[in-house]
Structure formats: structure tokens, C-alpha cells
Chain A
């Protein structure tokens, strides 16, 4: 049962396209199709989805047939920590404020590299805090809260 995949990169890319194309076409069934004269919201997405799915299948088959480079192994540490830093920023920014989130995001992000050194990260933090508070919050006027919003300070309004 050992199927040999000649070009794993192509094969997986094909699967990815098949997934998105198939998914898009599947979801588009629920949208009114309309006619060529008056295209409904489902017309163009369905065409695109089907085309992408077919193309995905073609790329998969080609990936089985031709020879290509293997996919380099994924390294989990940078992947998870970088996405984690972004995720924490998204989850926390409206509650914990820009100061806390700058610290959290930078420390988590710095942990993603084996090269990072604690002393340098502290220095970097000082600079970035100055920028995110001074430039982005005050000078550019982005609507960040500086400090965490505690439940009891929410009371008025």
C-alpha cells in the first residue's frame, strides 16, 4: 500500500487547492445562483471554486508522477511561538492594553529563536515600549488602552 509520491510539494499544494476550491464550491451552493444574464451571488464563486478544485486534482496527480524536492521538515518552535505571539496579541489587546501586550508579544516572539539573549530582549523591550506608547498611541493616536481594564473601572457608561 506504499504509494510513492514523486513531488510531495506539488502533491500537498494540490490538496490545499482542492480543499479551498471544493470548500468554496460547497459553500456557494447555498447562495442564489441567478442566470448568465443576471448573475446571483453564487455564480462567480461556484465557477472559481470548481476550477480551483479541478486544478488542485491536476496538481496532485502531477505531484504523484513527476519527481521533485521533498518538503523540508517543519520546525514547531518558531511556528507555534510566532503564531502564539500574534494570537496572544489578538486575544489580549482589548483587555490588557498595549503596555502588557507589547511585553508579552515580544517575549513570546523572542523565544521563537534559539539565538535570542535575555539581556538584548530587555533592551529591545524598552525601545519597543517607547515606540508603541510614544509613537503609536500618542503621536499617531491609535486607540489603544495603555493599561489593563479592570472589571471595576468599567462601571461608568
Chain B
């Protein structure tokens, strides 16, 4: 019954007036940027982070988390109504969601997406509450060698699950680790890669890098493409699904939730992967796969449930191991550090109010989201008529202000400009930037643990394979790498990201 006591503590934190307000603000903003194509949760969280400096840590993290899972709801609205993914995790929802909209069944698709997401969110909250304590207990046994191996595993998984070329993803990891080393060395105070800029003494701030790549870089790349000729917004129609709809959608929601919850926990996973995997699963087990792409309700229900479940369970490795598994989680780690919380297993024991408050707020946030997304759908539809040419100057300005306010430094804005250019090059060259951002956050921790492990073992590198837990983590990492090089799995991996 410890779980109930914990949840009670969580709700007592989440249900204070202030935290309810920030939770609502987070999911509202999340829905907004989810609906708007061209801006995602990474840029938004990075932009807002400086504004949370003055808040209590509970409120700040509750709001930032709300942006991420709120975006999963909003993304489906755009996908279904205008056939554009509002969020990258809603790409597959376009296929059947828009097809349903063209048949005049947009309302049903929206309702199933929102209700499926709510169900998935509820289950994922429970998974988080049940799975986190034992994982944290295990993590408390970790020494530096285990942590180093865990990070190796996390990074390898990020490579395996990244889209596109494996070699390039590996390169992005190494590059991210190097960027993470910029600044004063913790042990000796030696300045590394600062090029005479005193600003860089504290390291490259991840907000600067994230905003450069995901803010400025994406704006440039978006403007290069010809403007989207919107096909018009489909009418919503009735929101109520028929009995046949429900009969088809319910099992798909269950499968999507299960798959999404599992994939969210994996390093490299999260909402994006979960939605792709859930869609391919539905297509594979359907009696008549040819219905997909022509308005099959399972094609909306499964990926939308999966992306919300995945978004929430991806908090598990961050909160218990301190290991970010996707760029949004990398930002959450940064946000925790700004609020003087060292991410890892001790969060649960030292700050139970924060931990369980966040868990409880996710369920509360999901409740808000159902209300925001079903009865108030008309409001979001109006937003869809705002063209990108009006959005991007605003995004650019907010990014500039956000980067500046991290350290009140104009040089940071200049650095973000450089990363904007780099981010644009990455898009041009098909280099997925997600692994870079994860590695950037892990870089300093990885070096620190490597050094400590080597000092403890008196310079003997075999420590990583003689300690059983460390060895097990490394074996899993190696197995992942081997698996992905095998031609069979390789083909599957490409298929999963195609659709």
C-alpha cells in the first residue's frame, strides 16, 4: 500500500492551486505548439526554461512535462484536419486520420485520438508509479563503472533507434559528447575549447544548442521548402464514434498503449518511435491491411495512444537513472540541474514530493487535455488558419529572447546562431540531431564516471567487464549494435521509419 500513500502525497502536491495552474499552462501551451506545425516541444521547452528559473522546482517541472505530453494531443488535431503533422510523432496519424476527415468523419477521429490518448496517459502514469521505485533501488547500487556502462548503452540505443544512417548517428553522438566537454574541466579547472570566450567557462548551455538546432536551423530549412498549400481544413462533423468504431478502436488503443509504454522506457525511445511502431503493428495484424491509409480507425487509435504513453513513460529512465532517452528528456535533465536537483535514483528518496507530484500531475494534465481537445476543438481549428509566414518571425524572436535570458548574455545568442547554421547543415545532410543533444547532456557525466571508475580500479580498464551489472549493460549495448547490423533487422528498422 506504499504506492497508494505515495500517490496520495503526489496528488497533494499536484492539486495545490499553483501547481494546477502551471500544469494547465503547460498542457495548454503543449496543445498550442502541438497544433502549430513548425514548432515542437524541444524548442518550446528550451524557450520557456529561463522563465521558470524563479518558480518552485515542482511547478517548473510539472509545467515543462505538460508541454511534452500536451504536444502529443495537439499534434493529432493538425494531422487529422489538414493532413500536416503538427508534431513529428503524429506523422503516421495523417495517413488514416486525414482519410477519415475526407469521409466527413474528422470528429470521430479526433474523439478516438483524444480518448485513446487519455486512456494511454492513465495507464502510463500507473506504469511510471509502479516501475520507478524498483528501478531507482537498482540504480542506487550503481557505482561509476555501472553508470558509465549505462550511458554507453543509452547512447548506443539512441544510435540504433535514430532514423537514417547508423554511422552518421554514431558521429552525431561523438560530436555531442565533444560539445559537452566545452568549458572548465571539473577536476582540474582547465579551460577546454573555450577559445578565449569567458562565457564558455561554464560550458555550452544545452538551451543554446537546442534553440540553435531546433529553433533557427529548422526555420531556415522550413523556409527553403515551398510554402504548404493548405488543402483547407476539413469540417469536424460529429464527435461521437459508432459502435463499430469503438469495437475496432478499443483493442487498437490497448495495443498502442502497451507498445508505447514499453518503447517509451527504452533509451532512444519516446513518443516518435512509439507511434511509428504502433502503426506498423496494427497494419501487420489487421485482417485486411489494404484498409490502412483509407480511413482505418485503428490507424488513428493505436499511434495516438502509443505516442502519449511513450511520452510519459520516457520520464522513467530520467527520474530513476538520470538517463535522458530523447532530446526532450535531455532538456528535462537540464531543467532539473538548473533547479539544483541531481537527476537520478536519489530524487525519489530525497524529493518525494517532487517525484510523486510530477507523476500525479501527469494524470491531472491528461484530464485537462481531454477537455481542452474535445469540447474546445473549435478554438484550435481557428489557430490552424495562421500561416507559417506569420509564425516563424515570432518563433525567431522568442528564441532570441529565450537564449539571451539564460545567462543574460548576447554572446550566447551569437553561439546559438552558429548552432543554427550547423543545425541547417545537419538537415541538409540527413544527420538526425536527436543523438547529439542527448550526448551533449551526457558528455560531462560520462567523463566524470569514466575517470572515477578508472581511479577506483587503479587504472585497470577491465573494471567495466568484471563488475556483473556493468558487464550486463555492456552486453546489451553490444547486442543492440550487432542486431542492427544484421541484414534482417536492418531492413525492419528501415521499414519502421518509412510509412
Seen from chain A, the residues whose Cβ lies within 8 Å of a Cβ on chain B are: 9-10, 12-14, 16-17, 20-21, 24, 27-28, 31-32, 35-41, 44-45, 48-49, 51-52, 55-56, 58-59, 62, 69, 71-72, 74-75, 78-79, 82-83, 85-87, 89-91, 93-94, 102, 105-106, 109-110, 112-113, 115-117, 120-121, 124, 127-128, 132, 136, 140-143
| Stretch from B311-319, B391-399, B491-499 that touches the partner | B391-399
From A115, A120, A136, B401 is in contact (CB under 8 Å) with A136
From A82, A106, A124, B216 is in contact (CB under 8 Å) with A82
Q: Does B428 lie within 8 Å of A72, measured CB to CB?
A: yes
Chain A residues near B425 (CB, 8 Å)? Answer: 16
Give 13 pairs: A residue, B residue, CB < 8 Å, sorted on A.
A16-B425, A38-B451, A41-B187, A52-B174, A71-B429, A79-B421, A85-B396, A89-B404, A109-B397, A115-B387, A136-B405, A140-B51, A142-B404
Q: Does A94 lie within 8 Å of B410, measured CB to CB?
A: yes
B246 on interface, CB distance cutoff 8 Å = no
Chain B residues near A113 (CB, 8 Å)? Answer: 223, 227, 389, 392
- A59 and B165 CA atoms in complex are apart in Å by 10
Chain A residues near B392 (CB, 8 Å)? Answer: 109, 113
Seen from chain B, the residues whose Cβ lies within 8 Å of a Cβ on chain A are: 50-51, 54, 165, 167-168, 170-171, 174-175, 177-178, 181, 185, 187-188, 190, 192-193, 216, 219-220, 223-224, 227, 387, 389-390, 392-394, 396-397, 399-401, 404-405, 408, 410-411, 413-414, 416-417, 420-421, 424-425, 428-431, 447, 450-451, 454-455, 458-459, 461
Which chain B residue lies CB-closest to A36?
Answer: B459
Q: Does B224 lie within 8 Å of A78, measured CB to CB?
A: yes
Q: Does A83 lie within 8 Å of B417, measured CB to CB?
A: yes
Q: Does A109 lie within 8 Å of B410, measured CB to CB?
A: no
Q: Does B175 lie within 8 Å of A10, measured CB to CB?
A: no
- A64 and B495 CA atoms in complex are apart in Å by 25
Q: Does B410 lie within 8 Å of A91, measured CB to CB?
A: yes
- Interface of chain B: mostly helix, strand, loop or mixed: helix
Query: For chains A and B in complex, what number of residue pairs have CB atoms within 8 angstroms?
Result: 184
- A112 and B399 CA atoms in complex are apart in Å by 17
Q: Does B223 lie within 8 Å of A48, measured CB to CB?
A: no
Q: Does A90 lie within 8 Å of B417, measured CB to CB?
A: yes
A115 CB to nearest chain B CB (Å): 4
- A51 and B459 CA atoms in complex are apart in Å by 21
From A74, A94, A109, B428 is in contact (CB under 8 Å) with A74
Chain B residues near A89 (CB, 8 Å)? Answer: 397, 400, 404, 413
Q: Does B174 lie within 8 Å of A48, measured CB to CB?
A: yes
Q: Does A78 lie within 8 Å of B220, measured CB to CB?
A: yes
Which chain A residue lies CB-closest to B431?
Answer: A13
Chain B residues near A94 (CB, 8 Å)? Answer: 410
- A93 and B405 CA atoms in complex are apart in Å by 11
From B167, B404, B420, B429, A83 is in contact (CB under 8 Å) with B420
Q: Does B174 lie within 8 Å of A55, measured CB to CB?
A: yes
From A21, A69, A82, A120, B174 is in contact (CB under 8 Å) with A21
- A93 and B407 CA atoms in complex are apart in Å by 14
Q: Does B459 lie within 8 Å of A12, measured CB to CB?
A: no
Chain B residues near A72 (CB, 8 Å)? Answer: 224, 428
A63 CB to nearest chain B CB (Å): 10
- A55 and B167 CA atoms in complex are apart in Å by 7
Q: Does B390 lie within 8 Å of A45, measured CB to CB?
A: no
From A31, A55, A106, B171 is in contact (CB under 8 Å) with A55
Q: Does B185 lie within 8 Å of A41, measured CB to CB?
A: yes
The 10 closest A-B pairs by CB, nearest first: A37-B459, A78-B223, A90-B413, A41-B185, A41-B190, A52-B174, A36-B459, A115-B389, A109-B393, A90-B414
Q: Does B192 lie within 8 Å of A41, measured CB to CB?
A: yes
Q: Does A86 lie within 8 Å of B417, measured CB to CB?
A: yes
Q: Does B171 lie within 8 Å of A82, measured CB to CB?
A: no
Q: Does A86 lie within 8 Å of B178, measured CB to CB?
A: no
- A20 and B174 CA atoms in complex are apart in Å by 10
Q: Does B454 lie within 8 Å of A52, measured CB to CB?
A: no
Q: Given contacts A36-B461, A52-B174, is CB(A124)–CB(B193) below 8 Å?
A: no
Q: Given contacts A31-B190, A48-B181, A116-B389, is CB(A106)–CB(B170) below 8 Å?
A: no
Q: Does B455 lie within 8 Å of A37, measured CB to CB?
A: yes
A72 CB to nearest chain B CB (Å): 7
Q: Does B220 lie within 8 Å of A32, measured CB to CB?
A: no
Q: Does B220 lie within 8 Å of A39, measured CB to CB?
A: no
Q: Does B421 lie within 8 Å of A83, measured CB to CB?
A: yes
B442 CB to nearest chain A CB (Å): 12
Chain B residues near A112 (CB, 8 Å)? Answer: 223
Q: Does B394 lie within 8 Å of A128, measured CB to CB?
A: yes
B108 CB to nearest chain A CB (Å): 34
From B411, B413, B447, A86 is in contact (CB under 8 Å) with B413
Which chain B residue lies CB-closest to A72?
Answer: B428
Which chain A residue lies CB-closest to B172?
Answer: A17
B426 CB to nearest chain A CB (Å): 8
From B219, B411, B424, B455, A90 is in contact (CB under 8 Å) with B411
- A10 and B188 CA atoms in complex are apart in Å by 38
Q: Given contacts A32-B190, A41-B188, A142-B405, is CB(A59)–CB(B167) below 8 Å?
A: yes
Chain B residues near A115 (CB, 8 Å)? Answer: 227, 387, 389
B160 CB to nearest chain A CB (Å): 16
